Amino acid sequence: MKPHYVLLAALATSSLLAIAGPPEKLPAAWTVSGPSPQKFSSGVETSDVGGVRGAKFLRNKSEDAQTWGALTQQISAQRYLGQRLQFKARIKTADISNYAGLWMRVDTPARHGAAFYNSVDKPIRGSTDWQERTVTLDVPADASIVSFGVIGSGKGQVWIDALTLEPVGRDVPVDRMSGRQRPLPDKPTL
């Protein structure tokens, strides 16, 4: 190979690396949660991801296709007590082997997960372009914490952008986990 071609190739590679740049750290309010958070990397993209800069990401950096992780933020429930709350974000995936999706949980002093939804019944799999997703839950009057974010289950990477968390009207349906919707009997069977 001629020396000037090698030089041009080296310059092109270094230019691309300079443009892409390493990701930034997540804002302090965000954490990685799940059974093995050390198996995931996270951050804020400084390069363009499908037309978006500054997207938060979660990437399974291990070979463990059975694990899951979540980008998580927790806030006080105080300003949302007794309201219907919706978490909305745009989400993009690359090579997700199990599923990805938005999630939200509301805790009360007496009950961890008084309201919970994790998108397992509306999975995003494989590689997808940006799409808007929502999670809507009722916040009990005695709620203490609202947790929300994005989950990545299995191998792959997920990005989120354009996040909002705001009260919505009672006409917006609440998300419910499959299997938790059956009515309970009024009397015990003894």
| Mean pLDDT in residue range 61-72 | 95
- CB contact at 8 A, 2 and 20: no
- Exposed / middle / buried, residue 153 (Cβ in 10 Å: 0-12, 13-18, 19+): buried
Confidence (pLDDT) at 48: 81
Using pLDDT thresholds of 50, 70 and 90, give the confidence band for residue 168.
very high
pLDDT at position 125, please? 98
Question: Which residues in 27-38 are b (16+ Cβ under 10 Å) and which e?
Answer: eeebebbbeeee
Can you say whether the dihedral through the CA atoms of 179, 180, 182, 184 is positive or negative? positive
Average pLDDT in the 168-173 region? Answer: 98
Answer whether CATH 2.60.40.10 is correct for domain 23-168: no
CA angle 100, 106, 110 (to 5 degrees): 135
Per-residue exposure over 84-103, b if at least 16 CB sit within 10 Å of its own CB, e if not: bbbbbbbbbbbebebbbbbb
Q: Across all residues in the chain, what is the average pLDDT?
A: 89
Q: Which of 11-20, 55-64, 126-135 has the lowest mean pLDDT?
A: 11-20
Q: Scanning the structure block, which residue is given the tokens 């709620």?
A: 143
| CA nearest neighbour of 102 among 85, 90, 119, 86 | 119
